[in-house]
Amino acid sequence: MKRKLIIVLCGLFLCFNFAFTEQQNIQGQDDIEQAWSGTNSGDYVIYRDYSWKSKTWIGFLYYDKNTVGSFLYTDDGKTFVKILFSGEVLDGEFVITGQNNISGRNNSPNYIYAVNYLMQMLPKFYQWREKPKSDSLVVKKSSKNIFEGQYGGECLINFSSYIPLFYINSIIDKDQKNILKLEEMGLAKDDKDFFEFSPIKTPKKEKTSFVLNKNAKKTPKLINNIKLNIDEQWRQDTENSFFLNGSAFFAVLPIDLSNVSGIKNNDINFIIKYLCVSSKDVKVLLDKTDIIGSKERFKIIGPAYNRADNIMKTSIRLVIKHGDFKYTIIPLSVNTDLYEKNKEYFNNLFE
């Protein structure tokens, strides 16, 4: 159990640390490439596409301003298209100048249709993209109406400021039904992280024999001026990490973004973006993830799927701002069954 919690937590933060290092090496990329602002090399997005009859996912991977990878996957296993598109941005449009079909030849009508679909939708997604400017409590959001025959006519696109490539969170039709829904974001270390996509399996229901004692003796601690409302059931593993009988784990991590280039007035989006990325081992289910709180203190709450063990954990990432570019991040991973039975306890662990 302890190993599974570590895998879930480390999977999330290896991605964050990798992204942090990569961003430090970028010299004002957003200023140079305004056409793809908010996006760095290796960023990808994967959407559940409800416009198809069978369960379908489409994904887009940003290499550079002239190269975008894409795929379309149907869960019947009969269609898996992988294409590298080359192009350039002209007058606010992404014009495709070439393509490399890396999934091989296939004369199936569904396959040919999928290739054409990606060729049509990539320029449209770029044309629709809109960087949200209206403030909300944490994430800047916006929306706009479009007319898209492929999606049955009138639709509403919802944008969020932390999402790379197109800022698109979802597209819904006039009947308020999902057409497109963001399911996964990631930072690809190599092409396989993106192109070897497969949907998650039905996770095993992981039960725990541990029963939380809400009357246990309180043993509060103070780290980075943050009060930890823990009790004697928690075991301190290192100076800033704690275990609860193998069923929950959290750590207190100070983060300084002052040396990270290209994120002026964008540090919150940077943190949210990379706390929500999936990795090879752990998939963050963004369609079931909530971001709540204020710009000074917010939580990202949702399920995290451990691919190797086929289990789902509840992941809570608390972010506290201390000053310009200085934060404390507390990632908490909990057995989902235990969390559902004791939400108040886990949601009030930190002050």
Other C-beta atoms within 10 Å of 46: how many?
23
Domain that residue 63 falls in:
43-187
Q: Does the pLDDT at position 198 exceed 90?
A: no
Q: For residue range 253-299, what is the model confidence (pLDDT) as tens digits? A: 998 888 877 677 778 888 999 899 998 888 999 989 999 998 899 99
The per-residue pLDDT for 20 is: 52
Same domain, 152 and 215: no
- 228 against 351, higher pLDDT: 228
The per-residue pLDDT for 17 is: 54
294 class by beta-carbon count within 10 Å (0-12 exposed, 13-18 middle, 19+ buried): exposed
The per-residue pLDDT for 14 is: 46
In a domain, 55, yes or no: yes
Same domain, 66 and 100: yes
Q: Does the pLDDT at position 201 exceed 90?
A: no
In a domain, 148, yes or no: yes
CA distance 329 to 346: 16
- Give helix 267-275 / helix 2-24 axis angle, nearest 10°: 140
Handedness of CA 58, 190, 28, 290 (dihedral sign): positive
Same domain, 65 and 19: no
In a domain, 63, yes or no: yes
Of 158, 187, 216, which marks where a domain is finished?
187
In a domain, 38, yes or no: no
pTM over 0.85: yes
Same domain, 309 and 261: yes
In a domain, 134, yes or no: yes
Q: For residue range 219-258, what is the model confidence (pLDDT) as tens digits? A: 999 998 899 999 999 999 888 899 999 899 999 999 888 8
